[in-house]
Amino acid sequence: MKSPVAFALSCFIFLSNITLAQQETIKIWPDKIPNSIDNISYHEDTVYVNGKSPRISKVTAPTLTFYPAKKDNGNGVAVIICPGGGYGRLAIDHEGYMVAAWFNKIGVSAFVLKYRLPSDLIMEDKSIGPLQDAQEAMRIVRRHAQMWNIDPHKVGIIGFSAGGHLASTVSTHYNEKTYEVKDGVSSRPDFSIFIYPVISMDTAITHQGSRDALLGKKPSKDMVIRFSNELQVTSDTPPAFLVHAADDTIVPVQNSINYLLAMKKHGVPGELHMYEKGGHGFGLGKTTGTESTWPEACKNWLTARGLL
């Protein structure tokens, strides 16, 4: 008979294996990665903030980590999660894995996107590298929708900070051909969620670090306009839910306000929750301050849209 310690350990290992089995890591590009440059000296790197919160940089092999909703409470809705980090790193914990776990609690399947960060060292055109990964991620989820118990017409995207820029780029550039697509599967999100997002490349309101990383120090006027996503909204842009703090000194709240106004102009449903305080990067897991209530507001919006 096992000792109590051995029994407890075996139970822990068993439960851990169940948890791991529920997650699946999918390569975005199983074969040749489009727009890529081989660089054997460029390797993915992970550092930990306070010894526990991972920040990933130098991504060369983008992936989706799948967190399926439980069969007894799944509703067919899925969301792709784009962590932020100024297009220089990925805050993949409180803007990724924790967010996926929260979505699972409300019956939504979630996919954490580890996307390539723009770099001239591994990309022919760094401005479209993250977009390529996100577009293909949307298509992968739809291609496997039946197998994963997902409604292909209820696939959305959420992004935080620079991940919000990527999410809003997918939401407004889904018809842009950034790589060769062999089927007709759409990369258009059915709904979008942006949390303290970088939306604009206008120097008056952008996050300069994100702009420099994506477009370089001296981008052309056309490139600035192209990736200022408030200027790319049309009547076909997906409905969006936005969250921002008025005291955000890193990504000004005007990013979210201007996107909402653009949606209003084109008749696209949208909702913005602007909190008095919260700063930047509060993500998920915070328990104090009114900004910590954004997940409940988001859940209410998804319900109102008929998604939950």
Angle at which helices 129-143 and 162-172 pack, to 10 degrees? 60
Query: What residue spans define the domains of the chain?
Result: 25-304
Measured CA to CA, the distance from residue 159 to residue 165 in angstroms comes to 7
Read off the tokens for 275: 């909190």
- The model carries a pTM of 0.92
pLDDT of residue 22: 61
> What CATH number should be reported for the domain whose range is 25-304?
3.40.50.1820
Measured CA to CA, the distance from residue 202 to residue 225 in angstroms comes to 8
251, 264, 270, 274 from 254: Cα distances, Å: 8, 15, 15, 10
Q: Burial code of 145-177, b = ≥16 C-beta within 10 A, e = fewer? A: beebebbbebbbbbbbbbbbbbbbbbbbbbeee
Measured CA to CA, the distance from residue 227 to residue 215 in angstroms comes to 9
Q: What is the pLDDT along the chain (308 residues), one digit of tens a residue?
A: 444 334 333 333 333 333 433 689 999 999 999 999 999 999 999 999 888 889 999 999 999 999 999 988 889 999 999 999 999 999 999 999 999 999 999 999 999 999 999 999 999 999 999 999 999 999 999 999 999 999 999 999 999 999 999 999 999 999 999 999 989 999 999 999 999 999 999 999 999 999 999 999 999 999 999 999 999 999 999 999 999 999 999 999 999 999 999 999 999 999 999 999 999 999 987 778 999 999 999 999 999 999 99
